[in-house]
A and B are shown apart, each in its own frame.
Chain A
Amino acid sequence: MGIKATRKPSPRPRKPVPAPARTSVADALFSATQQRVLGLLFGQPQRSFFTSELIALAGGGSGAVQRELRSLEESGLATLSRVGNQKHYQANADAPIFAELCGIVRKMLGPADVLREALAPLQNELQAALLYGSVARRSDTATSDIDVLLVSDTLTLEQVYAALAPAEQRLGRPVSPTLYTVAEFRHRQAKGNPFITKLLAGHTLPLTGGTDAFLAAG
């Protein structure tokens, strides 16, 4: 954001370049590998990961991931402990910017953002998508599932699982989707179904643009 607007016009006409892809805030600040590694370590600061686990979850080259880990450890942002011949990395809660990094990760690389990105291709078929449960409440632990409620008349559950798979990989945690048709959702809403009532009364985060309007229309 802002990059195009502040750039001065080129001094001489050039061959038109293809429009740059929209740059996310996370892309502006961190490389792809850094995003994955920071997202894992500071997205689940209470969890320690062993190296091969981080490499698998980050999905980058093992050399690139190990370089990031080394500099995070050397800078004191992450701690390294050895269990047998395994190296365990964890976000360092004593680092001076620990809380800020957790906040940055939560805002830019957290479950809601990763899920929004994963669900973006299905946006036109989704009437609503909501993050709820312990992750939305921020009382989640390393093993908590990420609970998502989806409303669509056309999507199948298999399509949903396939779309969510990259998000699960990036977040290192399973996502549990519940998929309702519009009629099923409205019926439960009207009937005061305990699951829906409790869900809507609790902390939730919308994952698609139309979600809030859909819920308000009920």
Chain B
Amino acid sequence: MPSSPLDNLARIGQLKAEPPAQVEFDGLLRSGQVRLADAQHRTLSLESRFDLAYNAAHALSLAALRWHGYRSENRYLVFQSLTHTLGLEPAQWRVLDQAHRKRNLAEYEGDLDVDEALVEAMIRVACAVAERTVALGPVPQEPA
């Protein structure tokens, strides 16, 4: 399917074009859904829920990107592509943007200072991403 913003990102080397594979898509979707469910366990620490929600959001966002026939090793770009792959609203994608920065900062500074507003927002956004990714249906077959 023609998706010119994604095509453009591939042309400038931000994304790689690669035909989607159903097995990979299913695996990412399942992995994302499992983590998303776990992220909602309030008995876990906020830090763990952050990690789970972050990884859920990434797996689900990558599934959507793969469905469209692209991939990227860059997590930021995977999140950024959500406006094109699933029509995610700017306010939703900015939540993932903040989560991504926070996670990077934690890796450099060794201290993850997570707040509830962010984790709850990440879970809502990841739920929206999961719903829309499921709604994409089976991966499109390559034109014969």
Binding site for B on A (CB under 8 A): 155-159, 161-162, 165, 176-181, 184, 193-195
B115 touches A158 (CB 8 A): no
Instruction: For A180, list chain B residues within 8 Å (CB).
Output: 115, 117
* CB < 8 Å A-B pair total: 45
- For B102, give the chain A residue with the smallest CB separation: A178
Q: How many residues of B contact A (CB 8 A)?
A: 18
A58–B120 Cα gap in the complex (Å)?
Answer: 34
Which of B13-21, B65-73, B79-87, B88-96 contacts its partner? B88-96
Partner of A157, one of B89, B111, B113, B121: B121
Instruction: For A157, list chain B residues within 8 Å (CB).
Output: 95, 98, 117-118, 120-121
A131–B94 Cα gap in the complex (Å)?
Answer: 19
A165–B135 Cα gap in the complex (Å)?
Answer: 28
Question: What are 20 of the A-B contact pairs (CB < 8 Å)?
Answer: A156-B120, A156-B124, A157-B98, A157-B117, A157-B118, A158-B91, A158-B92, A158-B95, A158-B124, A161-B91, A161-B94, A162-B89, A178-B115, A179-B115, A180-B115, A180-B117, A181-B117, A184-B115, A193-B113, A195-B113
A180–B118 Cα gap in the complex (Å)?
Answer: 9
Consensus secondary structure, chain B interface = helix
Partner of A179, one of B91, B101, B117, B124: B117
**11 additional A-B residue pairs with CB within 8 Å, beyond A157-B121, A180-B117, A184-B116:** A156-B117, A156-B124, A157-B95, A157-B120, A158-B89, A161-B90, A161-B95, A176-B98, A180-B115, A181-B115, A194-B111
A161–B91 Cα gap in the complex (Å)?
Answer: 5
A156–B120 Cα gap in the complex (Å)?
Answer: 8
Binding site for A on B (CB under 8 A): 89-92, 94-95, 98, 101, 111, 113, 115-118, 120-121, 124-125
Instruction: For B111, list chain A residues within 8 Å (CB).
Output: 194
Q: Distance (Å) between the CB of A126 and the closest chain B CB?
A: 13
A181 touches B116 (CB 8 A): yes
A156–B124 Cα gap in the complex (Å)?
Answer: 10
A158–B118 Cα gap in the complex (Å)?
Answer: 9
A176–B124 Cα gap in the complex (Å)?
Answer: 19
A181–B94 Cα gap in the complex (Å)?
Answer: 19
Closest 9 CB pairs of A and B: A157-B121, A161-B91, A179-B117, A162-B91, A161-B94, A158-B91, A157-B117, A157-B95, A180-B115
A161–B97 Cα gap in the complex (Å)?
Answer: 11
- For B113, give the chain A residue with the smallest CB separation: A195
Q: Distance (Å) between the CB of B54 and the closest chain A CB?
A: 14
- For B111, give the chain A residue with the smallest CB separation: A194
Q: Distance (Å) between the CB of A151 and the closest chain B CB?
A: 10
- For A183, give the chain B residue with the smallest CB separation: B116
A177–B91 Cα gap in the complex (Å)?
Answer: 12
Instruction: For A177, list chain B residues within 8 Å (CB).
Output: 98
A184–B124 Cα gap in the complex (Å)?
Answer: 20
B98 touches A158 (CB 8 A): no
- For A195, give the chain B residue with the smallest CB separation: B113
B113 touches A179 (CB 8 A): no
- For A145, give the chain B residue with the smallest CB separation: B101
A178–B121 Cα gap in the complex (Å)?
Answer: 12
